[in-house]
Amino acid sequence: MHSLKRKYLEHRHAINDGIVLGASAICTFVYAIYFEMAELFFEFSRKHEEWELDDIVLSFLLIFSFYLMIFAIRRWKDTRLLLKKAYTDSLTEVYNRRKCTKTLLLEVTIAKKFNRTLSIIAIDIDHFKKINDVFGHAAGDHVLKTLSGLVKNEIRGADTLFRIGGEEFLIISTETDLSGATRLAERLRSLIEKYPFGKIGGVTASFGVAEYESGDNTDTLFQRADKNLYEAKETGRNRVVC
């Protein structure tokens, strides 16, 4: 219920800001056309007599519209910043689980409607609890940030990385079939395995890959990737199962 209320307020604020910004732009445009602003300002610069009442009213309307537009732009920027914070993991600075849920629903809907390929890759850092226990939580945070940076730099611009749990990540790979997603997962697995993580030494990760199939929804697709990830963990870790 709290999540639904938050979403409702976010959408309502965004709509209100859009209305204010649109109204400000329309008012400014109408004033400029109706009162022939360019010509009027030119005339003001040439004459030195005192302004009449209509000049004062016009000036007030212009100033009011200007500040109204500035206010609307600032509100729009503030709203975007709040939404970014709401959908971003504060530690790794990749998208969080809330954003993953929304994005996966959208991509599954597109895949279903337009018969497009879609794959997801579930990632879990191997023995992460041991890293925290032996080296401390600061070292664990370093692994999370470093690994997410490695993955984010390796995937395509059309792919999206999310942190969906403590040491769990998910990649949504659009227009990618199972073989393509498996190759990407294997490339990421090798990259992580070879990367030096300082005093921690070697770090590995396990991967579960699944492709959208006809009749899938977000739950069935995710469960299939999670099942493959579990198999990768159970059969030795540091491997890709699809």
Between the alpha carbon of residue 135 and those of residues 43, 93, 130, 146, the distances in Å are: 74, 23, 8, 16
10 among known catalytic residues: no
Helix (H) or strand (E) holding 232: helix 218-234
Of 180, 169, 174, the residue nearest 158 (C-alpha): 174
| Per-residue burial over 119-129, b = 16 or more CB atoms within 10 Å of its CB, e = otherwise | bbbbbbbbebe
- What are the backbone dihedrals phi and psi of residue 94, each rounded to the nearest 5 degrees, phi first? -105, 170
Buried b / exposed e over 2-37, threshold 16 CB at 10 Å, is: eeeeeeeeeeebbeebeebbeebeebbeebeeeeee
| Cα–Cα dist 79/97, whole Å | 20
The DSSP output letter for 165 is: S
Q: Please, is 56 exposed, middle or buried when counting C-beta atoms within 10 Å of its C-beta (0-12, 13-18, 19+)?
A: exposed
Catalytic residue of the set 39, 49, 167, 193: 167
Q: What CA–CA distance (Å, rounded) separates 27 from 16?
A: 16
- Catalytically active residues are 167
